[in-house]
Structures are given as structure tokens and as C-alpha cells.
């Protein structure tokens, strides 16, 4: 029963281990506390012995860096694998066993240590093809692409032998055709008519995980109410929270002539996302949150459905884990919303970013006999889908003005531990009046609130120059150490430079070609920008600093681009301290 390892997954480097180690395979069925199967792990243990003058890897003369000859005087040839220490041309039958090498007595320890080195190198990489073959032919009975968990060499004198144990771990066992029985795999329901599957299909199913958890909770949303179609007051709405998390396993599988590594976090993500509640064609039934709650938990009316759906993802590539947290407002409204939220933080950017991408789908109130379902039109028979979606969007975004009271800002602000700016850094809006859908993409960050009102962005720079020595630099012809530096007493002046750059809103830009449009919209001429800038410059000037005896202002300068709405102001002070 030979063991063959395809070194670096190169089909020209088939490395057979001789003497063949003992093999132990155990199955660890991974179950949740509820008894549900979520995966299986195969633990493969190789227990073998290295001999100083026989088997593979071959013994090498470390002093001459060459293989020891066989006892019949021939030189081993066709060696492959790490350090060219394995021979894949010799068969597996007893009559074709490897020949004995001629290893001097004083090189036996070197031989054992070199063979240990070769074994460690052979199993230094995860995902290499490992074959277990019967003696009667060269077709493998079991093929796997395991992860290497440990390599241990037993203690000993290492004169003529060294016992070892290699621990491997695999998620599937394949036959010679790279097909597997789906024993222990919980994804059988995806392939009800199949008993054998290509390994790549299993990898794509996202079933290779080590743990999984799912939690549901519901609580009353105090102080919030909804109205039904008949405007009957419902005293409460509810908040439903749903969280799922999984930890995946790195998995290796053949794909054509290559071996593909499936990242652990990708396996966990696929496993979790297959179990999320997703929209279906029946708008009134999405998301069907009520069916997920325990029977008899709350005596809620049938009109309740889940809206304001928010989904937050968490990925930990190092741990190979993936988690999703979902929240709904359970209500009986006329429109529902789904959106995803992501948080970014970079060392090159001082601000934390929060992005929200969402879709609002309105529900039509027009009777079945009405002429329209979506689009804008006669609403005498009730508000249509687009009207309801627009009402929801206005409610979420404070009529498109955002601010501290808008739901969109609160969602983004609740996702991070810092206080973010209530005005989004970017807004993208899309509408489909025929299907009653509104899509939006918002980007928030925790940049400071603008000091100057009505501007899109502002940049304030303050540069302080402190006194230095006053000295003379006297050139001297032929002096190799350079000019003579002579301190002449005194210090240079204190100086402060302030630069203010503004990008104005389109309402502050002139669209004509006359003087009023081009020049009189300059921020230094219009209120309240003029007064706000004056106060800002006063706060930044040295006049506010303690211990200033006197100061002088250098000629200020300003720049205005009337068509782009870009404005800059620069001013400098030179000042003197009283001490």
C-alpha cells in the first residue's frame, strides 16, 4: 500500500515513501448542538520508519552532496522531489522494492538526518496531492489534498532508523477519477440525484467549515408606531435581530491540471450567505421574518412584515471567519427597504468611512382593476408603488437634506464607535418608476463639521515659523570645510501663515457671463460667508495668542474660480513677543 505525494503538485515529481508507513483514517463529523451536520473532517495519520540505507527518501552523502551508490555499485538515477531524493520509476511490488544503498558506518547518522530533512520538505506545503495505492497496480484507491498539521520524529539514537508520525487533515477523500462519496457532507440536498461529485463542485458549495452559529432575537421598538391601510393606530413596532457566523477551513481541490486553494473565509461566507433570507418575487412575503420566530412567541397580527432591512458583514481573513448581522423593523407599512452597510478604515486616511447601498421597493395601493402599478400617474385609487417608495426615501433621508435626524445618518452612525458627519461625502441616486424602485448609494465619514456654512468642503492650513539664529556666511577661497559661519547676534522673527480653501455649493456659483455672475459671487463678498471667514481668520491670527506685543499683516491674497466654485485665501502675520 504505497503512499505517493505529488511534490509541489507537479505531476513529474511523484514521490513514493518507502518503507510504506502505516495509515490511519478517522472521520470527525461536525455537528451543531441541534444535531445538524455542517461538515466532516478526515484525520489521516502516517506512522512510518526511515532506514539509513534503504527506501525513499534516498540517503545522500552530505559531504560530497551526492547520493550514496547501491550495494551493486550502480548510482541511483531519475530522482525527483525535494533534494532529488525520491524515485518514482520503481514499482510497488515486493520483487521491485528499492535496492539497498552502500552507506558507511560513520555516515549513518548523517543519512538519517538528511532523510528527516527530505520528509519535512516533502510535507512543507498544504494542498499537495496524496495518493494511497494498492500493491497490485499503480491506480490510487484514495486521493486527497490535505492540510499538514504536524510532523514528528520519535526520539532515538538515529543510527539505523528513525520512527516518525505525520498528521494530515482533509475535508474529502476522492477516488482515482477525482469523484467522492458525499458521506458526512450536509449539502446532499443540493444534489439529490447524485452519489458521486467532482471535488470542485463541493468546494463551490461552501460546505467546508469548522463551526457555525445562528441567533434570532426580537424586542419592542418603544415610542414607534405604524398605521395600517385603515389608519388604525398600532401601538408598537418591533426590532428583529438576526446574526449568523461561521468559521471556514482552507480547502484544496483539483481544477483541471491545477490545484485551487479555497480560502477559509470564502468557504464561511458561502455557507452563511446560502442561509440568508433573500428577496423573492412575492414582495408582500419578503422578508418572511415571521416564519423564523418561535411559534407563540408574540401574538402579532398577520399584517406585520419586516422592513428597513439592514445587513452588516464582518470578515476576518486571519481566522477564516465570516459573520452577518441583520436587523428589521417589523411593521405594517406600505414600503420595505433592504440595504447593506460596510465600514472602512485605512492608515493613510484619518477618517473612518461608512458606505450604505440600499434599495427601496414601494407597494402599490392601487386596486387590482387600476390602470397602473408602477410609475407616476393618477393616484385617485391610492398611492402607487413609486409614490410609496419616494415617501419612504424622503423619510429615510429627511427629504434629501440628511442631517442628524435622518435615518440614513443614524444607521451609519450606529455602525461605528465614532461620531460621523451628518452630511454624506457622496450621494448617488437611481430610480425606476415602472417597478416602483429607488436605489441609493451613500458615503459617510467622521470628518469635522464645516465651519463655513454652505460649502461642500473646506481646508484650513496653519504654518508657524519660529525664530532662528542670525548669522553671517563668509566664503573663503580654498577652505575645504566650506564657508565660515559667524554668529552676529539676534534672532529672526515669529511668523504665521494661514491658508483657507473652499469648494462652494452650486447655489453659490454664478451661471452667467456678466460681472455679477463672475465676480460678485466671490465668498469674501457675500454673507454669511464673509462674516464667518472674518471670524475664522480672527481666531487663527496671532492676536488671540497670549504674550503678543505687536504684530503686522503682510498683504493677503485670494483666488476665485467662478465656474468651478473654488476659492482660496492666504494671509501672513509677523509678530513679536513681550518677553
Q: Which of 445, 473, 490 is the last residue of a domain?
A: 445
Residue pair 56/87 in contact by the 8 Å Cβ criterion:
yes
Integer Rg of the chain from CA: 37
Assess whether 389 and 493 both reside in one domain: no
CATH of residue 557's domain is 2.40.30
Assess whether 392 and 273 both reside in one domain: yes
Residue 115 placed within a domain = yes
pLDDT of residue 94: 54
Query: Residue for cell digits 505531476?
Result: 11
Q: Which of 445, 478, 497 is the last residue of a domain?
A: 445
Residue 422 placed within a domain = yes
How many other CB atoms are there within 10 angstroms of residue 91's CB atom?
Answer: 13
Assess whether 330 and 238 both reside in one domain: yes
Q: Which of 33-47, 167-181, 286-300, 420-434 is the most confident on average?
A: 420-434
Strand-pairing partners, residue 246, are 212, 322
pLDDT at 569 over 70: yes
CA distance 123 to 466: 64
pLDDT at 334 over 60: yes
Residue pair 116/151 in contact by the 8 Å Cβ criterion:
no
Residue pair 265/247 in contact by the 8 Å Cβ criterion:
no
Mutual angle of helices 407-414 and 385-397, in 10-degree steps: 60
Count how many domains the chain has: 3
Residue 188 placed within a domain = no
Residue 321 placed within a domain = yes
Q: Which of 425, 445, 465 is the last residue of a domain?
A: 445
The phi, psi pair for 156, rounded to 5°, reads 175, 180
Residue 111 placed within a domain = yes
pLDDT of residue 230: 35
pTM of the complete model beyond 0.85: no
25-69 residue pLDDT tens: 998 888 777 777 777 889 999 999 999 998 899 998 877 678 888
Q: Give 148 or 448, the one with higher predicted confidence.
A: 148
The phi, psi pair for 535, rounded to 5°, reads -65, -40
pLDDT of residue 112: 92
CB-side neighbour CA atoms (13 Å) of 137: 4
Residue 437 placed within a domain = yes
Range in 104-113, 186-195, 531-540 the model is least confident about: 186-195
The phi, psi pair for 151, rounded to 5°, reads -130, 120
**SS3 labels along 129-164:** CEEECCCCCCCCCEEECCEEEEEEECCCCCCCEEEE
Residue 571 placed within a domain = yes
Average pLDDT score over the chain: 81
CA distance 473 to 50: 79
CA distance 21 to 162: 12
Assess whether 174 and 235 both reside in one domain: no
Assess whether 441 and 461 both reside in one domain: no
As given in the structure block, the three cell numbers for residue 486 are 559667524
Assess whether 334 and 429 both reside in one domain: yes
Assess whether 363 and 475 both reside in one domain: no
Question: Rounded to the nearest 5 degrees, what angle is found at the Cα of 230, between the Cα atoms of 287 and 389?
Answer: 45
Residue 543: domain span: 455-577
Assess whether 113 and 229 both reside in one domain: no
Assess whether 330 and 352 both reside in one domain: yes
Residue 227 placed within a domain = yes
pLDDT of residue 294: 55
Closest C-alpha to 510, from 561, 566, 563: 563
Assess whether 410 and 510 both reside in one domain: no
Burial class (CB in 10 A: 0-12, 13-18, 19+), 8: middle
Assess whether 409 and 439 both reside in one domain: yes
Assess whether 424 and 466 both reside in one domain: no
Amino acid at each position: 500500500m504505497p503512499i505517493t505525494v505529488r511534490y509541489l503538485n507537479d505531476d513529474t515529481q511523484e514521490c513514493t515513501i518507502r518503507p510504506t508507513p502505516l495509515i490511519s483514517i478517522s472521520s470527525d463529523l461536525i455537528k451543531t448542538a441541534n444535531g445538524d451536520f455542517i461538515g466532516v473532517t478526515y484525520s489521516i495519520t502516517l506512522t512510518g520508519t526511515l532506514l539509513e540505507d534503504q527506501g525513499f527518501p534516498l540517503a545522500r552523502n552530505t559531504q560530497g552532496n551526492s547520493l550514496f551508490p547501491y550495494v551493486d555499485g550502480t548510482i541511483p538515477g531519475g530522482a525527483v522531489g525535494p533534494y532529488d531524493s525520491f524515485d518514482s520509476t520503481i514499482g510497488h511490488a515486493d520483487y521491485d522494492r528499492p535496492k539497498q544503498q552502500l552507506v558507511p558506518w560513520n555516515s549513518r547518522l548523517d543519512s538519517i538526518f538528511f532523510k528527516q530533512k527530505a520528509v519535512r520538505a516533502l510535507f512543507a506545503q498544504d494542498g499537495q496531492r496524496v495518493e494511497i495505492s494498492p500493491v497490485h497496480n499503480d491506480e490510487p484507491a484514495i486521493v486527497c489534498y490535505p492540510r499538514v498539521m504536524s510532523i514528528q520524529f520519535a526520539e532515538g539514537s538515529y543510527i539505523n532508523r528513525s520512527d516518525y508520525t505525520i498528521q494530515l487533515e482533509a475535508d474529502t477523500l476522492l477516488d482515482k477519477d477525482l469523484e467522492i462519496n458525499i458521506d458526512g457532507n450536509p449539502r446532499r440536498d443540493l444534489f439529490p440525484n447524485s452519489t458521486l461529485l467532482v471535488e470542485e463542485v463541493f468546494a463551490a458549495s461552501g460546505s467546508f467549515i469548522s463551526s457555525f452559529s445562528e441567533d434570532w432575537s426580537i424586542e419592542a421598538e418603544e415610542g414607534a408606531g405604524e398605521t395600517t391601510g385603515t389608519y388604525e393606530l398600532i401601538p408598537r413596532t418591533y426590532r428583529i435581530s438576526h446574526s449568523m457566523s461561521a468559521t471556514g477551513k482552507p480547502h484544496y481541490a483539483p481544477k483541471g491540471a491545477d490545484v485551487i486553494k479555497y480560502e477559509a473565509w470564502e468557504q464561511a461566507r458561502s455557507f452563511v450567505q446560502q442561509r440568508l433570507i433573500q428577496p423573492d418575487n412575492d414582495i408582500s412575503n419578503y422578508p418572511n421574518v415571521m416564519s423564523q420566530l418561535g411559534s407563540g412567541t408574540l401574538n402579532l397580527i398577520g399584517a406585520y412584515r419586516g422592513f428597513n432591512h439592514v445587513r452588516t458583514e464582518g470578515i476576518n481573513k486571519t481566522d477564516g471567519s465570516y459573520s452577518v448581522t441583520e436587523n428589521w423593523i417589523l411593521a405594517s407599512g406600505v414600503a420595505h427597504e433592504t440595504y447593506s452597510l460596510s465600514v472602512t478604515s485605512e492608515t493613510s486616511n484619518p477618517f473612518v468611512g461608512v458606505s450604505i447601498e440600499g434599495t427601496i421597493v414601494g407597494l402599490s395601493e392601487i386596486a387590482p382593476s387600476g390602470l397602473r402599478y408602477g410609475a407616476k400617474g393618477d393616484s385617485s385609487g391610492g398611492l402607487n408603488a413609486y409614490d410609496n417608495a419616494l415617501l419612504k426615501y424622503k423619510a429615510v433621508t429627511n427629504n434629501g437634506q440628511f442631517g442628524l435626524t435622518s435615518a440614513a445618518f443614524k444607521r451609519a452612525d450606529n455602525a461605528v464607535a465614532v461620531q460621523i458627519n451628518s452630511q454624506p461625502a457622496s450621494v448617488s441616486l437611481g430610480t425606476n418608476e415602472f417597478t416602483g424602485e429607488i436605489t441609493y448609494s451613500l458615503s459617510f465619514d467622521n470628518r469635522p463639521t464645516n465651519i463655513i456654512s454652505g460649502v461642500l468642503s473646506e481646508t484650513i492650513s496653519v504654518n508657524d515659523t519660529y525664530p532662528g539664529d542670525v548669522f553671517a556666511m563668509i566664503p573663503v577661497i580654498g577652505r575645504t570645510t566650506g564657508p565660515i559661519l559667524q554668529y552676529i547676534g539676534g534672532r529672526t522673527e515669529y511668523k504665521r501663515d494661514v491658508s483657507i480653501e473652499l469648494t462652494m455649493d452650486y447655489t453659490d456659483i454664478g451661471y452667467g457671463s456678466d460681472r455679477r455672475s463672475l465676480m460678485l459671487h466671490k465668498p469674501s463678498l457675500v454673507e454669511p460667508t464673509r462674516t464667518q471667514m472674518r471670524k475664522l481668520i480672527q481666531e487663527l491670527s496671532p492676536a488671540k495668542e497670549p504674550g503678543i506685543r505687536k504684530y503686522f499683516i503682510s498683504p493677503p491674497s485670494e483666488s476665485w474660480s467662478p465656474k468651478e466654485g473654488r476659492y482660496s485665501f492666504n494671509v501672513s502675520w509677523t509678530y513679536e513677543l513681550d518677553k
